[in-house]
Amino acid sequence: MSSFFAFIFVIAFFTCIGLCIYGIVAKIRHKPLFSKFKKIIIASILVFLVAFVGAGATASTSDDNQDSVKTSSSASEKDESSKKAASESIEKDKESSSIAAASSQAEASSKAKQESIAASVKASSEATAASEKAAHDDSVRDASISESRARDASNAAAAQQQAQTVVAPDPSPAPAENSNDTNAGGISGYRWAIQDGFTWQTRKGHSRRIAPGGALPAGYHWQVP
């Protein structure tokens, strides 16, 4: 519609210009104007005015339409911006949730690893303690067995020594020893044999009376005056 009014406006404008030029030239040359000249001038001016007003109204309508389009475009842009902001917010929320989930998973994995290490250390400590206890028990048992064996051997040796009550007679005479027996408390030629490490005063339980001619037992010595 605006193109139509613009076309009419241009035609009316140039018509008015042409008629004005024609009138000026005719007046200069003193030529008579045709009878409808004034009517054509007036009609052209009216058409020019109508076209001008129509073009202005059309331009205003076009401006309104453009403003409406701009407003609609601005609203659309705002809507797009809002949608974009909402989408970015959703993406940020998803990213935050993903980061939180990854952090929680890493923390759980670290905690499980620490618990596994602690359990391994505890098991190793318990195994070491059990091994040390077993070694100590074995050592105590071995020491007890060794002590028992030594005690049994000592008792057996003592019993064997006490069982030696008769010795082979010595055919060689020992006249000098008779006086020794008398001094040492001997009776009828018997002699006293004292266990090494003991004296006549401490002989009780550690001495023997040897018959005349008897040999000195091992680990003993003759009592001397």
Residues 69-126 pLDDT 10s: 667 667 777 778 888 888 888 988 888 888 888 888 888 888 898 898 999 898 988 8
Residue 222 in 3-state DSSP?
A: strand
CA count, 13 A, side-chain hemisphere, 201: 0
Domain segments of the chain: what residues?
Answer: 2-94, 167-222
Amino acid at 107: E
Residues 112-157 pLDDT 10s: 988 989 998 989 888 999 988 888 888 888 888 988 888 888 887 8
Tokens standing for residue 161: 């020594």
The residue with tokens 């105590």 is 140
The residue with tokens 């040492």 is 184
For the CA atoms of the chain, what is the radius of gyration?
74
